């Protein structure tokens, strides 16, 4: 069902040639290495990315449907921020201000379904548990990398601040912690387990990160996913990739209400115990 | 790449025969009609569902990796709740209490990729924009229905409440509003547009809901998705289904950082302007 590689390459060229229409006008520095790694492979190209951000939005006073044009940006930061800046931004609220931490988001178009499956495994194993595929009837396959790691705190009503500066300071710390953990998930190397140790790894050993796992997976695909142009796969690398899939299968089994209870809600600050 | 219908039917029987392992021990009443509709079709079965809930979790004091076993449930409600009950539950916090609103979640195993695509279109068009597919190498195709509609508010630190009762009252109202909107998205009929009117519908006319769109889509699939066992499709129904796909294609085009800005962040309380 995959389109030809020629068609895919045309889509890729068209997309990457477009000017970045984002508010920032460029790929976020902290996501650049992931974006570059993916775009260097002919079977992938990225269509959007955001490394993560802390935002303060001012919505209109209650009473009707929220329209995009009625919202105002009071504050935005792609790095950890200072509570003084948030307090200052909050003073400009005239409606319903909401503080949000939004984690890393990445959309990747993939040539074949197998390519998207591989990327999905990598994303879920890196802690981006709300990742998923979109498959269009025209053959476009998009993998969206999404986290469950968020923060969404309403702070004002009718322009009136509902909390004290001390609480805003506390929230700033929380948002900054989530930002740092988000960055670690994207690219930092923290006790990355050796191939073959994944199955019995402890919670602290599961600090697997998207970039490392992606690098490993792209160069060590299991036999039935491997392409002619890929480098030779060593037995150790095969085990590494097989472990990625084992974990994924484990996660797919018997998803229940109870599982949501345990995994989504208990992981208040962190999902580091994802595979423990 | 789909497994045989016999294999799929076996998986379905095995899954549906299992006792519901959820905390509640049953399918949530408010999601039951959606679950029943899907399970009545041979090409689908649900593997988990939660109609939406307001929860108050108490995490351990800061300083380490959060482990599931260290978290406590202080409060849970699948219906709108009273702020007095939240204040009372908060008084039992001894660590880091966090109030969350978690929207409708549904996992559906689908026979063919086309079945999952149809369901994905329905979900996104109903406002569940973080929905996505998971495809395993063994041929299991899961569609996860997920919302962007949340709330996640840290409220205590080391057991000490950081906000006043008035703010908890305000948050309760916000959580209850989100719960009501969530229920409307799942199943209520609010000015559901007539077939053929989708394209030019206004914001208020886009209050399309999962159940209605699902019902319409299942009985009115477009020609290339239609199955022998499906009822005959009228031209009006075809237009309805075609509109579902048009909207989805529109959403898939040029996903950029700017789009996240406009869609995710501006829709503070609501995503009712999703297609406007």
Q: Tell me the per-residue pLDDT of A188-210, one tens digit each, with 9 for 90 and over.
A: 422 333 233 333 332 223 224 67
Question: Is there a contact between A65 and B153 if contact means CB atoms under 8 Å apart?
Answer: no
3-class SS at B82? coil
Residue A142: which pLDDT band, with cuts at 50, 70 and 90? very high
3-class SS at A28? coil
Sort out which chain A residues have CB atoms less than 8 A from B18's CB and list them: 254
Annotate B121-134 with DSSP letters as a single string. Answer: HHHHHTT-TT-EEE
Report ipTM for this prediction.
0.73
DSSP-assigned letter for residue A167? H
With an 8 Å Cβ cutoff, is A174 touching chain B?
Answer: yes
Nearest to B269 among A66, A102, A276 (CB): A66
Residue B237 pLDDT exceeds 60? no
Q: What is the pLDDT, as a whole number, of residue A87? A: 96
Strands (DSSP E) contained in A8-102 are 44-50, 53-59, 72-77, 96-102
Instruction: Tell me which of A62-76, A204-218, B77-91, B139-153 is least confident.
Output: A204-218
> What are the φ/ψ torsions at residue B189 (nearest 5 degrees)?
-95, 105
Q: Within 13 Å, how many C-alpha atoms sit on residue A190's CB side?
A: 18
Report helix, strand and coil shares of chain B as percent, to nearest 5. Answer: 40, 20, 40
Most confident of A191-205, A223-237, B6-20, B104-118: B104-118
Sort out which chain B residues have CB atoms less than 8 A from A50's CB and list them: 257, 260
Sort out which chain B residues have CB atoms less than 8 A from A120's CB and list them: 134-135
Q: What is the pLDDT, as a whole number, of residue A217? A: 74
Question: Is there a contact between B66 and A267 if contact means CB atoms under 8 Å apart?
Answer: yes
Contacts of B194 (CB under 8 A, 6+ apart): none
* Per-residue pLDDT tens over the stretch B18-47: 755 555 567 888 888 888 889 999 999 999
Residue from B257, B259, B264, B267 to probe the interface with A (highest A Cβ count within 10 Å) = B257
How would you class B19 by CB atoms within 10 Å of its CB: exposed for 0-12, middle for 13-18, buried for 19 or more?
exposed
Sort out which chain A residues have CB atoms less than 8 A from B245's CB and list them: 137
Q: What is the mean pLDDT of residues A125-134?
A: 89
Residue A224 pLDDT exceeds 80? no
With an 8 Å Cβ cutoff, is A257 touching chain B?
Answer: yes
Contacts of B173 (CB under 8 A, 6+ apart): B83
* A273 within 8 A of B65, measured Cβ to Cβ: yes
Residue B54 pLDDT exceeds 80? yes
* A172 within 8 A of A194, measured Cβ to Cβ: no
Residue A270 pLDDT exceeds 70? no
Q: What is the pLDDT, as a whole number, of residue A250? A: 47
In the numeric block, the tokens 């289904």 are attached to B241
In the numeric block, the tokens 């074949």 are attached to A112
Specify the length of chain B in residues: 276
Would you state the structure tokens that stand for residue A150, as one six-digit string?
A: 């968020």
Report the number of secondary-structure helices (H) and strands (E) in chain B: 8, 10
Q: What is the pLDDT, as a whole number, of residue A96? A: 94
Question: Is there a contact between A162 and B162 if contact means CB atoms under 8 Å apart?
Answer: no
Nearest to B65 among A113, A203, A245 (CB): A203
* Per-residue pLDDT tens over the stretch A31-56: 888 888 899 999 999 999 998 999 99
Please give the biggest Cα pair distance in chain A: 62
Q: What is the pLDDT, as a whole number, of residue A187? A: 63
Contacts of B171 (CB under 8 A, 6+ apart): A154, B83, B86, B99, B151, B153
Q: What is the pLDDT, as a whole number, of residue A190? A: 28
Sort out which chain B residues have CB atoms less than 8 A from A133's CB and list them: 132-135
Pairwise CA distance, residues B209 & B192, whole Å: 8
Sort out which chain B residues have CB atoms less than 8 A from A46's CB and list them: none
Please, which residues 11-40 of chain A have a Cβ atom closer than 8 Å to chain B?
A: 18, 20-24
Question: Is there a contact between A273 and B67 if contact means CB atoms under 8 Å apart?
Answer: yes
Task: Name which residue leads in pLDDT, A13 or B187.
Answer: A13
Would you state the structure tokens that stand for residue B103, as one six-digit string?
A: 């929207």
Please, which residues 92-121 of chain A have a Cβ atom closer than 8 Å to chain B?
A: 96, 98, 100, 102, 105, 107, 113, 116-117, 120
Q: How distant, in Å, are the alpha carbons of A68, A146, B182, B244, B245 from that of B250?
A: 17, 21, 24, 10, 9
Please, which residues 184-203 of chain A have a Cβ atom closer than 8 Å to chain B?
A: 203
Q: Which of A30, A37, A36, A29 is nearest to A187 (CA)?
A: A30
Please, which residues 130-169 of chain A have a Cβ atom closer than 8 Å to chain B?
A: 130-138, 140, 142, 144, 146, 150-154, 157, 162-163, 166-167
* Per-residue pLDDT tens over the stretch B125-147: 888 889 999 999 888 999 999 98
Instruction: Tell me which of A9-18, A63-72, A192-201, B114-123 is least confident.
Output: A192-201
Q: Which of A186, A107, A119, A178 is nearest to A149 (CA)?
A: A178
Question: Is there a contact between B153 and A152 if contact means CB atoms under 8 Å apart?
Answer: yes
Pairwise CA distance, residues B39 & B44, whole Å: 6
Would you state the structure tokens that stand for residue A134, as one six-digit string?
A: 């979109």
* A74 within 8 A of A52, measured Cβ to Cβ: no
Instruction: Tell me which of A179-188, A228-237, B124-133, B208-217 is least confident.
Output: A228-237
Residue A148 pLDDT exceeds 70? yes
Task: Name which residue leads in pLDDT, B211 or A226.
Answer: B211
Please give the biggest Cα pair distance in chain B: 62
Contacts of A71 (CB under 8 A, 6+ apart): A57, A58, A59, A60, B265, B266, B268
* B72 within 8 A of B55, measured Cβ to Cβ: no
């Amino acid at each position: 069902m995959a389109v030809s590689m020629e068609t895919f390459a045309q889509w890729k060229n068209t997309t990457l040639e477009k000017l970045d229409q984002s508010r920032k006008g460029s790929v976020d520095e902290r996501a650049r290495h992931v974006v570059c790694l993916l775009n260097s492979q002919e079977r992938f190209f990225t269509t959007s990315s955001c490394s993560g951000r802390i935002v303060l939005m001012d919505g209109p006073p209650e009473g009707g449907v929220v329209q995009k044009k009625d919202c105002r940006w009071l504050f935005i930061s792609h790095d950890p921020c200072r509570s003084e800046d948030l307090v200052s931004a909050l003073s400009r609220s005239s409606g319903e201000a909401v503080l949000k931490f939004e984690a890393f988001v990445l959309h990747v178009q993939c040539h074949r379904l197998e390519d998207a499956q591989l990327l999905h495994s990598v994303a879920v194993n890196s802690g981006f548990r709300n990742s998923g595929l979109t498959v269009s009837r025209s053959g476009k396959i998009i993998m969206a990398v999404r986290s469950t790691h968020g923060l969404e705190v309403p702070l004002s009503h009718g322009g009136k601040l509902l909390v004290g500066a001390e609480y805003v300071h506390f929230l700033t710390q929380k948002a900054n912690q989530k930002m740092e953990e988000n960055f670690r998930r994207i690219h930092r190397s923290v006790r990355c387990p050796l191939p073959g140790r994944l199955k019995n790894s402890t919670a602290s050993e599961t600090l697997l990160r998207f970039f490392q796992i992606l690098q490993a997976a792209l160069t060590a695909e299991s036999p039935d996913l491997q392409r002619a142009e890929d480098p030779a796969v060593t037995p150790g690398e095969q085990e590494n990739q097989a472990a990625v899939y084992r974990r994924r299968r484990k996660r797919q089994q018997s998803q229940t209400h109870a599982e949501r209870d345990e995994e989504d809600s208990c992981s208040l600050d962190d999902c580091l115990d994802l595979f423990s």
